[in-house]
């Protein structure tokens, strides 16, 4: 764990860098006009608890619409929490005012999904990357410019392109600009909201490697969000699986991929495309029936039970808690009444014919990523 | 970073630092691109030239007055009026004829350009500044602020402006300043609505979220992140608002509510020429021509500016491809 000297930040690794406790985020639906107040809410994130340790990468996977991005924005405090606590480095930041949050803004940064939307098209790259300095009133004039150019060099951009506009860069280069901006204030935690899903597969690997390189350089922690399991597997130390606003399973990377306990995790893993066509034809593909239920009226009990092949009466009544099974490592939590045993297979649905459209999340072939370091 | 850091990225993409360039590479800003398009637009060039000529007329009006030897308010009752008291037509002494008091129409038209341009530019700029700030606030803060400001702008737009202006000026008394204020007051709301609409879409962009996650203040987000993105339609609207303001001022002067006589203004000259149009065509034509050419040039320039900022807009069919 390397933390820059002289910043006065604590370096002990005992307590987690960030602890999210029972985080809830509901969005009220419809227009809350003066006269009618709508009662319906979208349960985007519902009672989510997790830790991020210093210097580690916590991967967060789930289908589109499961609340990943909302959770990310809650952690970055772009949204106010409906309830719950966020403890960052020993301080509760969940109820701080905008002004009180400013010192923490420097330590939690965000990388966005869309490399086109996240950079202001009317501003030069130099001033975009210099924004963190300008906003926090540090490093004036020439000093700031040289820092910005160092950052550009660090992320693999030509510092001479300081005066260019975002439209003059490719998608991968723009994402590097976003990374440089996030690194400027030497944060402790970077929330990366699908940082590579908008990029080409070959560019994805470059950006992922860049993120890994700066992590080992600065001892950063990442909350890394993706819907692509192979990428999350590559970058994460631990992985959390989200379904309909809840974490259904959280475990060390190796543990999660070799011994998935939750039926949803298992089904998600079976949807990862296999680059070998022969293997792809032979493997068992678990096709879940039905659609993701509405987050406005989430199912009672376990939220996965309407689609779960193992669901029983109890699942529709009692909500399972996220806790480790006997015999599993203590950091392997699963929220399931009937978790899978080692090597247990789910009853597979019909395997779609080879080449048919797979309704699962789009994902990159895993062989484009270099082996994990 | 306290020291220069370089990290080898496993898969290079050829973007890494190259040899030292002589000077930083200058990017081409969207403004620059728009200006380049404008420079190649013949209509824009022609109308700009006309506007510059009118501006020069206004600036050098005293010089012209000095050259011909007639002040704008000097009355030449013997040489400038026929024995019957009728204005004399264009001749060598009075190149564009005289008015009913024997004043030189040419000198007065030149001086009238000063009033028109001054009121047009100042009132439009004032209207745009107020409109931008109100539109930014309404769009950015939303909720109650938006409701209140939008309703105020709706009320403003629904006021019968001429009746209101007549009522106000008859209470306060006509002057140049009050004309400018009245014109700006009746123009800012449409700018505000345009800006509000743009802000509503821009504030949802990820770069605004990025600024917020960095801890930027509301004022900074509004003026540094959002404003540059709404400026293009604002500038287009500004160039189209100038001729409207000029016409508005001429209308007020025509009704005797604008510039106080004897100060020459195009609207005021047109008003007093009405009684003489059958015997003194020059008295109507030249101030009218000044007004027509000025507003036409600004309108054509405004169209070109809009085309320059939005190359896909079709000028002839009014559609966006």
Residue from the list A167, A176, A209 with its beta carbon closest to the beta carbon of B10: A209
Tell me, what's the pLDDT at A38?
Answer: 58
**Helices B227-254, B176-185: crossing angle, 10 deg rounding:** 130
Tell me, what's the pLDDT at A362?
Answer: 42
- Residue A158 and residue B18: Cβ atoms within 8 Å? yes
Residue from the list A117, A163, A173 with its beta carbon closest to the beta carbon of B205: A117
Among A83, A74, A82, smallest CA distance to A28 is for A82
Is A73 within the bounds of a domain?
yes
Is A336 within the bounds of a domain?
yes
The mean predicted confidence, pLDDT, of chain B is 82
Tell me, what's the pLDDT at A90?
Answer: 86
B53-86 pLDDT, tens digit per residue, is 999 988 998 888 888 888 788 888 778 787 787 8
Tell me, what's the pLDDT at A369?
Answer: 41
Q: Which residues of B touch A176 (CB under 8 A)?
A: 15
Residue from the list A117, A154, A161 with its beta carbon closest to the beta carbon of B206: A117
Q: What CATH code is carried by the domain that includes residue A206?
A: 3.40.50.300
Contact between residue B87 and residue B80 where contact means Cβ atoms under 8 Å apart: yes
SS3 B205: coil
Residues A229, A300, single domain; the answer is no
- Residue A101 and residue B1: Cβ atoms within 8 Å? no
- Residue B210 and residue A205: Cβ atoms within 8 Å? no
Among A126, A208, A157, smallest CA distance to B6 is for A157
Residues A225, A291, single domain; the answer is no
SS3 B21: coil
Round to whole Å and give the CA distance between A320 and A305. Answer: 11
Give chain B's length: 321
Q: Which residues of A touch B210 (CB under 8 A)?
A: 110, 112, 118-119, 178, 181
Round to whole Å and give the CA distance between A51 and A68. Answer: 15
| Closest CA of chain A from B134, distance in Å | 22
Tell me, what's the pLDDT at B317?
Answer: 53
Contact between residue B202 and residue B229 where contact means Cβ atoms under 8 Å apart: yes
Q: Does the pLDDT value for residue B315 go beyond 80?
A: no
Give chain A's length: 373
Contact between residue A142 and residue A222 where contact means Cβ atoms under 8 Å apart: no
Round to whole Å and give the CA distance between A30 and A59. Answer: 32
Is A1 within the bounds of a domain?
no
- Residue B207 and residue A117: Cβ atoms within 8 Å? yes
Residues A184, A267, single domain; the answer is no
Number of domains in chain B: 1
Contact between residue B98 and residue B276 where contact means Cβ atoms under 8 Å apart: no
Tell me, what's the pLDDT at A365?
Answer: 42
Residues A221, A276, single domain; the answer is no
Q: Determine contact: B228 vs chain A, CB below 8 A.
A: yes
Tell me, what's the pLDDT at A58?
Answer: 92
Tell me, what's the pLDDT at A37?
Answer: 57
Give the pairing of strands A238-243 and A246-252.
Answer: antiparallel
Round to whole Å and give the CA distance between A324 and A330. Answer: 6
| Closest CA of chain A from B260, distance in Å | 45
- Residue B21 and residue A131: Cβ atoms within 8 Å? no
Q: Does the pLDDT value for residue B311 go beyond 60?
A: no
Q: Which residues of B touch A113 (CB under 8 A)?
A: 206
- Residue A213 and residue B24: Cβ atoms within 8 Å? no
Q: What CATH code is carried by the domain that includes residue B63?
A: 1.10.3720.10
Round to whole Å and give the CA distance between A253 and A234. Answer: 9
The Cα-based distances of B214 to A31, A128, A157, B60, B217 in angstroms read 29, 11, 22, 53, 9
Task: Give A252's strand partners.
Answer: A238
Is B218 within the bounds of a domain?
yes
| Closest CA of chain B from A251, distance in Å | 28
A26: phi then psi, degrees, rounded to nearest 5: -110, 140
Among A311, A314, A332, A315, smallest CA distance to A323 is for A332
Is B111 within the bounds of a domain?
yes
B12, two tokens:
């290079």
Tell me, what's the pLDDT at A284?
Answer: 67
Tell me, what's the pLDDT at A373?
Answer: 38
Residue from the list A108, A118, A370 with its beta carbon closest to the beta carbon of B207: A118
A252: phi then psi, degrees, rounded to nearest 5: -60, 150
Round to whole Å and give the CA distance between A234 and B1. Answer: 27
Q: Determine contact: B22 vs chain A, CB below 8 A.
A: no
Residues A223, A284, single domain; the answer is no
Q: Determine contact: B15 vs chain A, CB below 8 A.
A: yes
Tell me, what's the pLDDT at B293?
Answer: 93
Residue from the list A106, A108, A114 with its beta carbon closest to the beta carbon of B206: A114
DSSP string, A32-83: --SS-----EEEEEEEEEEEE-TT-EEEEE--TTSSHHHHHHHHTTSS--SE
The Cα-based distances of B180 to A17, B119, B183, B245, B290 in angstroms read 60, 6, 5, 9, 20
Query: Residue B8: exposed, middle, or buried by beta-carbon count in 10 A (0-12, 13-18, 19+)?
Result: exposed
Number of domains in chain A: 2
Q: Does the pLDDT value for residue B23 go beyond 70?
A: no
Q: Which residues of B touch A109 (CB under 8 A)?
A: 213-214
Round to whole Å and give the CA distance between B287 and B76. Answer: 20
Task: Give A191's strand partners.
Answer: A110, A223
Is A249 within the bounds of a domain?
no
Alpha helices in chain A (DSSP H): 68-75, 98-105, 125-135, 141-154, 171-183, 201-218, 229-235, 253-258, 263-270, 277-282
A215, two tokens:
């992590």
| Closest CA of chain A from B28, distance in Å | 7
Q: SS3 breakdown of chain A: % helix, strand, coil, rounded to 5? A: 30, 20, 50
A224, two tokens:
């890394």
Q: Determine contact: B10 vs chain A, CB below 8 A.
A: yes
Tell me, what's the pLDDT at B49?
Answer: 93
Tell me, what's the pLDDT at B41?
Answer: 83
Residues A225, A289, single domain; the answer is no
Is A241 within the bounds of a domain?
no
Q: Does the pLDDT value for residue B107 go beyond 80?
A: yes
Round to whole Å and give the CA distance between A181 and A227. Answer: 24
- Residue B228 and residue A122: Cβ atoms within 8 Å? yes
Contact between residue B64 and residue B107 where contact means Cβ atoms under 8 Å apart: yes
Q: Which pLDDT band, with edges at 50, 70 and 90, does B138 fall under?
A: very high
Lowest pLDDT segment from A348-352, B264-268, B277-281? A348-352
Chain A residue nearest residue B7, CA to CA: A154
Is A274 within the bounds of a domain?
yes
Round to whole Å and give the CA distance between B304 and B297. Answer: 11
**Optimal mutation site among B2, B3, B6, B9, interface A, most CBs of chain A within 10 A:** B9
- H/E run at residue A333: strand A333-334
| Closest CA of chain A from B129, distance in Å | 20
Round to whole Å and give the CA distance between B56 and B50. Answer: 10
Tell me, what's the pLDDT at A367?
Answer: 39
Residues A212, A69, single domain; the answer is yes
Tell me, what's the pLDDT at B19?
Answer: 44
Q: Which residues of B touch A105 (CB under 8 A)?
A: 213-215
Q: Does the pLDDT value for residue B184 go beyond 80?
A: yes
| Closest CA of chain B from A358, distance in Å | 30
Distance of CA A7 to the CA centre of its chain: 27
- Residue B228 and residue A136: Cβ atoms within 8 Å? no
- Residue A109 and residue B213: Cβ atoms within 8 Å? yes
Q: Does the pLDDT value for residue B24 go beyond 70?
A: no
- Residue A209 and residue B9: Cβ atoms within 8 Å? yes
| Closest CA of chain A from B23, distance in Å | 8
| Closest CA of chain A from B187, distance in Å | 27
Is A244 within the bounds of a domain?
no
- Residue A132 and residue B8: Cβ atoms within 8 Å? no
Q: Which pLDDT band, with edges at 50, 70 and 90, does B152 fall under?
A: very high
**Cα within 13 Å of Cα(A228), Cβ side:** 23
- Residue A370 and residue B11: Cβ atoms within 8 Å? yes
Q: Which residues of B touch A125 (CB under 8 A)?
A: 27
Q: Which pLDDT band, with edges at 50, 70 and 90, does B139 fall under?
A: very high
SS3 B207: helix
Chain A residue nearest residue B220, CA to CA: A135
**Optimal mutation site among A131, A174, A212, A216, interface B, most CBs of chain B within 10 A:** A131
Tell me, what's the pLDDT at A352?
Answer: 40
Tell me, what's the pLDDT at A32?
Answer: 53
Q: Determine contact: B93 vs chain A, CB below 8 A.
A: no
Residues A88, A187, single domain; the answer is yes
Residues A191, A298, single domain; the answer is no
Is B271 within the bounds of a domain?
yes
B77: phi then psi, degrees, rounded to nearest 5: -75, -25
Q: Does the pLDDT value for residue B148 go beyond 90?
A: yes
Round to whole Å and give the CA distance between A45 and A242. Answer: 9
Contact between residue B297 and residue B309 where contact means Cβ atoms under 8 Å apart: no
- Residue B206 and residue A214: Cβ atoms within 8 Å? no
Contact between residue B113 and residue B125 where contact means Cβ atoms under 8 Å apart: no
Among A129, A123, A117, A165, smallest CA distance to B227 is for A123
| Closest CA of chain B from A351, distance in Å | 36
Is B122 within the bounds of a domain?
yes
Domain range enclosing A175: 18-28+39-236
Q: Which residues of A touch B211 (CB under 8 A)?
A: 131, 135
Q: Which pLDDT band, with edges at 50, 70 and 90, does B153 fall under?
A: very high
pLDDT-flagged residues of chain A (< 70)? 1-14, 30-39, 280, 282-285, 347-373
Domain range enclosing B167: 34-309
Round to whole Å and give the CA distance between B140 and B142. Answer: 6
Is A80 within the bounds of a domain?
yes
Residues A94, A50, single domain; the answer is yes
Tell me, what's the pLDDT at B103?
Answer: 87
List, in order, residues 6 or more apart from A324 with CB less than 8 Å away: A330, A331, A332, A333, A334
Query: Residue A5: exposed, middle, or buried by beta-carbon count in 10 A (0-12, 13-18, 19+)?
Result: exposed
Round to whole Å and give the CA distance between A234 and B78. Answer: 99
Q: Which residues of B touch A186 (CB under 8 A)?
A: 1
């Amino acid at each position: 764990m390397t933390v820059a000297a002289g910043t006065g930040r604590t370096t002990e690794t005992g307590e987690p860098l960030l602890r999210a406790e029972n985080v809830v985020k509901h969005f009220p639906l419809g227009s809350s006009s003066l006269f009618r107040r709508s009662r319906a809410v979208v349960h985007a994130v519902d009672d989510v608890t997790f830790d991020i340790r210093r210097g580690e990468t916590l991967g967060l996977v789930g289908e589109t619409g499961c609340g990943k991005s909302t959770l990310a924005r809650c952690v970055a405090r772009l949204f106010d929490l409906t309830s719950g606590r966020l403890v960052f480095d020993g301080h509760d930041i969940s109820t701080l005012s905008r002004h009180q949050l400013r010192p923490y803004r420097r330590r939690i940064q965000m990388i966005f999904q869309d490399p086109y939307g996240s950079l202001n098209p009317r501003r030069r790259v130099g001033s975009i990357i210099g924004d963190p300095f300008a906003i926090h009133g540090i490093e004036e004039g020439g000093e700031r410019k040289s820092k910005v150019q160092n950052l550009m060099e660090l992320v693999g951009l030509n510092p001479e392109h300081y005066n260019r506009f975002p439209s003059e860069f490719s998608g991968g280069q723009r994402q590097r600009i976003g990374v440089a901006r996030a690194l400027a204030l030497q944060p402790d935690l970077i929330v990366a909201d699908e940082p590579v899903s908008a990029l080409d597969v070959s560019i994805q690997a470059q950006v992922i490697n860049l993120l890994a390189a700066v992590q080992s350089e600065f001892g950063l922690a990442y909350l890394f969000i993706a819907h692509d399991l192979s990428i999350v597997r590559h970058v994460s130390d631990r992985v959390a699986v989200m379904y309909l606003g809840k974490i259904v399973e959280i475990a060390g990377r190796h543990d999660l991929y070799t011994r998935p306990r939750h039926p949803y995790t298992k089904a998600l893993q079976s949807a990862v495309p296999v680059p070998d066509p022969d293997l792809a034809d032979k493997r068992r593909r678990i096709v879940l029936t039905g659609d993701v239920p509405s987050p406005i009226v989430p199912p009672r009990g376990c939220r996965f039970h309407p689609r779960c092949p193992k669901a029983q009466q109890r699942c529709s009544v009692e909500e399972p808690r996220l806790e480790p099974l006997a015999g599993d490592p203590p950091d392997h939590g699963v929220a399931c009444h009937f978790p899978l045993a080692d090597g247990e297979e789910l009853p597979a649905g019909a395997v779609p014919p080879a080449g048919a459209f797979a309704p699962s999340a789009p994902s990159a072939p895993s062989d484009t990523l270099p082996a994990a370091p | 970073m306290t020291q220069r850091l370089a990290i080898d990225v496993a898969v290079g993409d050829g973007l890494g630092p190259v040899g030292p360039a002589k000077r930083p590479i200058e990017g081409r800003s969207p403004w620059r691109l728009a200006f380049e398009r404008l420079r190649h637009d013949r209509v824009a060039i022609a109308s700009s030239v006309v506007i510059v000529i009118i501006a020069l007329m206004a600036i050098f009006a005293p010089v012209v007055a000095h050259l011909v030897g007639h002040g704008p308010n000097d009355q030449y009752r013997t040489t400038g009026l026929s024995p019957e008291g009728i204005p004399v037509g264009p001749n060598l002494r009075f190149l564009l004829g005289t008015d009913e008091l024997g004043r030189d129409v040419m000198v007065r038209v030149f001086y009238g350009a000063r009033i028109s341009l001054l009121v047009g530019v100042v009132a439009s700029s004032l209207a745009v500044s107020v409109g931008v700030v109100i539109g930014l606030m309404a769009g950015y803060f939303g909720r109650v602020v938006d409701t209140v400001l939008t309703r105020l702008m709706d009320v403003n737009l629904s006021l019968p402006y001429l009746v209101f202006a007549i009522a106000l000026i008859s209470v306060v008394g006509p002057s140049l300043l009050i004309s400018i204020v009245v014109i700006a007051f009746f123009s800012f709301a449409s700018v505000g609505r345009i800006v509000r609409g743009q802000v509503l879409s821009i504030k949802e962009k990820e770069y605004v979220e990025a600024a917020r996650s960095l801890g930027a203040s509301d004022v900074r987000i509004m003026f540094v992140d959002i404003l540059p993105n709404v400026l293009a339609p604002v500038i287009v609207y500004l160039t189209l608002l100038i001729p409207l303001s000029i016409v508005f001022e001429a209308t007020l002067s025509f009704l005797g509510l604008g510039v106080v006589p004897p100060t020459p203004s195009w609207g005021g000259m047109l008003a007093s020429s009405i009684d003489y149009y059958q015997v003194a065509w020059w008295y109507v034509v030249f101030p009218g021509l000044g007004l027509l050419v000025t507003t036409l040039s600004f309108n054509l320039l405004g169209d070109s500016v809009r085309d320059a900022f939005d190359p896909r807009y079709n000028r002839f069919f009014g559609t966006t491809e």
